[in-house]
Chains A and B, each alone.
Chain A
């Protein structure tokens, strides 16, 4: 599914300073029963966000109106566990377009880019700086510039570069996806398949 182009995102952020946030927390398995990609944002972080009687847990960050924005900032090893793309769908559907962490699990990173979320990996020190600023002052804005591959804490001017390969960057900047690319090389794939051992 092609997605919106990603260029510069300037937004306040929601801090989630927890390590090893796994995809079962992002969206528990019992909410994976849809056959269409819609409505997953309602169940984002379901068991951290709601009590068993569906009342909101007041101490969870998504229930705190002080913190809003299109950028989610998570602790180390964000998105580990299951390959469920539903986790990325839920984050996107809730309204986030960028996730910042010091370390991402591999499958989650791929899934994010494939649905149009930019995963930004920063150093542990820079992540600490973001947490301190955002938690201390919820109006703190972050600016993510994909073209320059930089993330800036706007009010302090602290800036760090991040890595993304040229192909994926081009896709995100232009709203292209891998399926478009692969469709354009089917003849080459057919030739390869004809020589396959299996």
Chain B
């Protein structure tokens, strides 16, 4: 490694380059690889066609999450195509000796929830998965990003992928988040400032007091949404919060290995004079609870604001109007009071215990609004158990909510959890694209608190008014 000042990203990236190709990508070694049922079958088929095998099966972990049902998981999966993908994952994992956490395994859950909670995700690692929200794992100071199926095949067969090194962007936010402002609101705010393509070509480091004072789960939410900014990923420097979260987790280092690991992890920070290709700075005082109104995550604003006029946004006017038409919204509409039909709490963005605690804190002692259909989907069985053990389930049930079983669910609506055409969903997930939550579904992305406020009032409501 060079002795000139370098960034956290440089340190991790450079220590994983097996070979630099002149006028080409770097050959990057991958420490951990997650696979799921949707983007892996064709990669395994490729191995078979070429007659090659898995190089390091103990570096890959399989979990079923994308198409799994969120009720009656003990019964056979009804959809034959989904069942076939789940079977393929199980068989391929068994064939090559890969750990497989399928449905009903106590460790099963959304790939980006189970990786961290079992200690697989660690600072300084390179981590990939055939899923764009792999950026979540950057919360630990790892370089983590989503890949395509051809690249899944590369990692299985050679533990490497070929990537040009991205440019470096640092986003610094100092100050203290106000009442009712959660980690989710921070990336939604950044998105509203830089658009959904503002960080394309970059890898982000999130720095400053807001991220330093954030829990690991909050940092995961932030890094999760870095892909929505166009970045391959985002990361936060590991610190005592990171080490405290990891210590004692099943696959984290133990004993002497732990001490040695922490000593190394403490070196993983950006040097004082290191240079970034781009720096952006914001202040926490300017961030209020956010909500999106359009069909990409960059089209959001503070919940007390009105929908901007076309001339105020960076997207082209035609695309912006198409977006508002799809949503059934108009320029200058007030967001507060907009009707809501569905509320979705869950996903790799906001399906962790802190998200359920936040949601429960607001619905406690209130009742679900009659016009709302609510889907509350924990990110994993471990989260589900915590919800029960902490008494959160009792609070939710008393307020008229039911808990479903873990999975990606309505975030991408591959299973039966689809929002009907024309209906409005306040969703804690990550994408409000046309049809993302079901054909014709209209998604408003927001935090668990904003989702809870909508769930009990039946419309878009500022959660601060209920706190």
Residues of A within 8 A of B (CB): 1, 17-20, 22, 24-25, 28-30, 32-37, 47, 52, 75-77, 80-86, 88, 103, 105-107, 110-111, 114-115, 165-168, 177-179, 181-183, 185-186, 188-189, 192-193, 196-198
| Set A1, A186, A188: member contacting B150, Cβ < 8 A | A1
The smallest C-beta distance from A20 to any residue of chain B, in angstroms, reads 5
Contact B196 A30 (CB under 8 A): no
Chain B positions 181-202 with a Cβ under 8 Å from a chain A Cβ: 196-197, 200-201
By beta carbon, the residue of chain B nearest A28 is B435
Contact B433 A25 (CB under 8 A): yes
| Set A81, A185, A193: member contacting B27, Cβ < 8 A | A185
Stretch at the interface among B37-45, B172-180, B368-376: B37-45
By beta carbon, the residue of chain A nearest B322 is A18
The smallest C-beta distance from B9 to any residue of chain A, in angstroms, reads 15
Contact A83 B132 (CB under 8 A): yes
Contact A193 B148 (CB under 8 A): no
Q: List 22 A-B contacts (CB under 8 A).
A: A1-B49, A20-B295, A25-B433, A37-B45, A47-B440, A52-B440, A77-B200, A80-B230, A80-B296, A83-B39, A106-B200, A106-B230, A114-B148, A114-B150, A167-B21, A179-B46, A182-B154, A182-B162, A183-B157, A197-B124, A197-B264, A198-B125
A22 in contact with B433 given A35-B85, A83-B131 (CB within 8 Å): yes
Q: Which residues of A contact B52 (CB under 8 A)?
A: 179, 183
| Set A32, A80, A114: member contacting B414, Cβ < 8 A | A32
A179 in contact with B125 given A29-B414, A81-B433, A107-B148 (CB within 8 Å): no
By beta carbon, the residue of chain A nearest B261 is A197
- Interface assignment of B69: CB less than 8 Å from any CB of chain A: no
By beta carbon, the residue of chain A nearest B80 is A33
Q: Which residues of B contact A183 (CB under 8 A)?
A: 52, 157-158
- Interface assignment of B219: CB less than 8 Å from any CB of chain A: no
Interface string of B129-158 (1 = CB under 8 A from A): 011101000000000011111110110011
Contact A167 B25 (CB under 8 A): yes
- Interface assignment of B436: CB less than 8 Å from any CB of chain A: yes
- Interface assignment of B100: CB less than 8 Å from any CB of chain A: no
Contact A30 B414 (CB under 8 A): yes
Q: Which residues of B contact A80 (CB under 8 A)?
A: 196-197, 230, 296
Contact A82 B85 (CB under 8 A): no
Residues of B within 8 A of A (CB): 18-19, 21-25, 27, 29, 31-32, 38-39, 41-42, 45-46, 49-50, 52, 55-56, 66-67, 79, 81-82, 84-85, 88, 122, 124-125, 130-132, 134, 145-151, 153-154, 157-164, 166, 196-197, 200-201, 230, 232, 261, 264, 295-296, 315-316, 318-319, 322, 412-414, 421, 431, 433-436, 439-440
The smallest C-beta distance from A111 to any residue of chain B, in angstroms, reads 4
Q: Given the complex of chains A and B, what is the CA–CA distance between A35 and B38 in angstroms?
A: 8
By beta carbon, the residue of chain A nearest B134 is A83
Q: Given the complex of chains A and B, what is the CA–CA distance between A18 and B321 in angstroms?
A: 11
A103 in contact with B29 given A19-B316, A114-B151, A167-B21 (CB within 8 Å): no
A-B complex: 8 closest residue pairs judged by Cβ atoms: A167-B24, A166-B23, A85-B148, A33-B81, A83-B146, A114-B150, A111-B148, A35-B41
By beta carbon, the residue of chain A nearest B81 is A33
Q: Which residues of B contact A33 (CB under 8 A)?
A: 38, 67, 79, 81-82, 84-85, 414
Contact A32 B439 (CB under 8 A): no
| A-B contacts besides A20-B197, A80-B296, 13 pairs, CB < 8 Å | A18-B318, A18-B322, A25-B433, A33-B79, A52-B440, A83-B147, A85-B39, A85-B42, A115-B150, A167-B24, A179-B46, A182-B160, A183-B157
Q: Given the complex of chains A and B, what is the CA–CA distance between A103 and B196 in angstroms?
A: 12
Q: Which residues of A contact B27 (CB under 8 A)?
A: 182, 185, 189
The smallest C-beta distance from A150 to any residue of chain B, in angstroms, reads 18
Contact B434 A106 (CB under 8 A): no
Contact A179 B153 (CB under 8 A): yes
Q: Which residues of A contact B439 (CB under 8 A)?
A: 28, 47, 52
Residue among B18, B150, B151 with most chain A CB within 10 A: B150
The smallest C-beta distance from B377 to any residue of chain A, in angstroms, reads 16
Contact B29 A196 (CB under 8 A): yes
Contact B414 A81 (CB under 8 A): no
By beta carbon, the residue of chain B nearest A166 is B23
Contact A198 B31 (CB under 8 A): yes
Contact B150 A179 (CB under 8 A): yes
Contact B29 A189 (CB under 8 A): yes
Q: Given the complex of chains A and B, what is the CA–CA distance between A193 and B29 in angstroms?
A: 8
Contact A196 B162 (CB under 8 A): no
The smallest C-beta distance from B235 to any residue of chain A, in angstroms, reads 16
The smallest C-beta distance from A159 to any residue of chain B, in angstroms, reads 23
Contact A178 B154 (CB under 8 A): yes
Contact B25 A165 (CB under 8 A): yes
Contact A22 B46 (CB under 8 A): no
Q: Which residues of A contact B261 (CB under 8 A)?
A: 197
Contact B196 A20 (CB under 8 A): yes
Contact A52 B39 (CB under 8 A): no
Contact A179 B55 (CB under 8 A): no
Q: Which residues of A contact B414 (CB under 8 A)?
A: 29-30, 32-33
Contact A24 B433 (CB under 8 A): yes
Contact B23 A52 (CB under 8 A): no
The smallest C-beta distance from A132 to any residue of chain B, in angstroms, reads 14
Q: Given the complex of chains A and B, what is the CA–CA distance between A152 and B227 in angstroms?
A: 33
Q: Which residues of B contact A35 (CB under 8 A)?
A: 41-42, 45, 84-85, 88
Q: Which residues of B contact A192 (CB under 8 A)?
A: 18, 29
Residue among A35, A83, A107, A183 with most chain B CB within 10 A: A83
